[in-house]
Amino acid sequence: MPDPASSQTPRKPIGDPPDSPHSVGSTRAKRMQLATGKNPFALEMGGTIGPIEVEYETYGELSAGRDNVILITHALSGDAHAAGWDSEAGSTGRSWRLKHPGWWDRIVGPGKAIDTGRYFVICANFLGSCYGTTGPASINPATARPYGLSFPVVTVGDWVQLQARMLDAMGIDRIHTVVGGSLGGQQALEWALAFPNRVQRAIVLAASPRLSAQGLAFNAVGRQAIMNDPNFNGGDYYQTDHPNHGLAVARMMAHITYLSEEGMHEKFGRRRRQKRSGFGVEFEVESYLDHQGRSFVERFDANSYLYITRAMDYYDAAAKWGRGDLVAACQRIRSQVMVVSFSSDWLYTPAQCREFALALCRAHKPVTYVNVPSRFGHDAFLVENQTVGHLLQNFLKTTPTNPA
């Protein structure tokens, strides 16, 4: 869910230069059509959509036995560019990529935790986003105009089914490991539930089988900020001024949930940028959130934010797979699972993650659970690179319970 350019990360570029032996180097996004108007994609909430084009990136080489695939699933504002340096950033309008490598560059690359010298790594942008895969800003062939709010409701389940269709098209039957954090972690869990015979290992970082009521509330207020922006125009704003103010406010509120009280106190405290100024930006924390909001609207689509947060709201693994019983849902899983929580995360709390791990235990499924001490809140899965990398590296060596 957090942005790759988090508050807690250093301001200098994160990652190795493209000519480093530890970098995957210059990357170029690929695209694949996975549905057409005549052969549309069926959606979990009903209806169909087609055509669908998916943007994805790959790193490393696929083994002869096609048994070294690691699928990375990204979070709310993430994209397919997980590692390396985008060779087309200047020409695609994604200028922020010129200064920063992929959002998990510290983890993915030659000799790193997810070693591209050993694994074939895939990361795909999900349906409804605004980073290359079909979404609300895409042209609806029926109207020759952007979909806007006529885009159908999508779910975490839809994203996983579409990823499975992509792997089918690539001739990949089995996944060595699926890994993701936050909303990406829920996709990793859904993979283990929906395709138990295809997944050998599933790594769920800073995520649980469902979002809390507090998380639902923050998402609801964020969507209201967008939809009540004077420029929202029922989602049909692509030819006019965009609802930038509403999207910025939504981002500011969401970003608070990515941090922790300890981290915010350490970084900002009650320091002021200037003397009292009435109701303008006065405190350092206000300035930071204002910057996060303004930078976000330069690269994200407000309608995509509505659809993605709603998909996040809807996901409930127990309700979908166990009729409300999480232990019953976990009975489906055949993969080796690792669940990682972070001590100061209050979006997907350690208690929620532990509940999931205990449900796996009660279902007699092999699970590794680790609660990482961290002051970085929910952002920790993107920031605690050394600890997360160590955990991933060791878990990838475990013997799968569901061998090919």
pLDDT beyond 60 at 239? yes
**pLDDT tens, position by position, 339-371:** 999 999 999 999 999 999 999 999 999 999 999
* Average predicted confidence (pLDDT) for the chain: 93
pLDDT at residue number 191: 98
What pairing do the DSSP bridges indicate for beta strands 139-140 and 145-146? antiparallel
User: Would you tell me the crossing angle of helices 302-314 and 156-169 to the nearest 10 degrees?
Assistant: 100
Q: Which stretches of 64-132 are assigned E, i.e. beta strand?
A: 69-73, 85-86, 108-109, 114-115, 120-124
pLDDT of res. 323? 97
Closest listed residue to residue 387, CA positions, set 375, 402, 372, 398 = 372
Tokens standing for residue 214: 């507090």
Please give the pLDDT value at position 231: 98
- What is the model's pLDDT at position 319? 98
pLDDT value at position 170? 97
pTM of this prediction exceeds 0.75? yes
More confident residue, 293 or 404: 293
3-state helix, strand, coil in the chain (%, to 5): 35, 15, 45
Band of the pLDDT at 20, cuts 50, 70, 90?
Answer: confident
pLDDT at residue 131, as a whole number = 95
Q: What is the pLDDT of residue 371?
A: 98
With beta carbons less than 8 A apart as the criterion, state whether 337 and 26 touch: no
DSSP 284-343: HHHHHHHHHHHHHHTT--HHHHHHHHHHHHH-BHHHHHHTT-HHHHHTT--SEEEEEEET
**Residue of 133, 121, 102 lying closest to 16 (CA atoms):** 102
What is the pLDDT at residue 303?
Answer: 98
Q: What percent of the chain has pLDDT over 70?
A: 94
User: What band does 179 get if pLDDT is binned at 50, 70 and 90?
Assistant: very high
pLDDT higher than 50, residue 7: no
Weakest-pLDDT range from 141-145, 307-311, 382-386, 400-404: 400-404
Position 8 confidence tier, pLDDT thresholds 50, 70, 90: very low
**pLDDT band at 98, cuts 50/70/90?**
low
> Above 50 in pLDDT, residue 387?
yes
Q: Which residues are catalytic?
A: 182, 345, 378
Domain boundaries, the chain: 26-212+323-395
Q: Which residues contact 16 (CB under 8 A, 6 or more apart)?
A: 22, 23, 101, 105, 109
CA 334 to chain centre: 23
Q: Which secondary-structure segment (H or E) carries 32? A: strand 30-35
Q: What is the CATH number of domain 26-212+323-395?
A: 3.40.50.1820
Q: Which residue has the higher pLDDT, 404 or 251?
A: 251
Give residue 401's pLDDT band: very low, low, confident or very high (50, 70, 90): confident
CA dihedral (368, 194, 67, 120) positive or negative: negative
Instruction: Give percent of the chain with pLDDT exceeding 90.
Output: 84
- Residue 82 has a pLDDT of 97
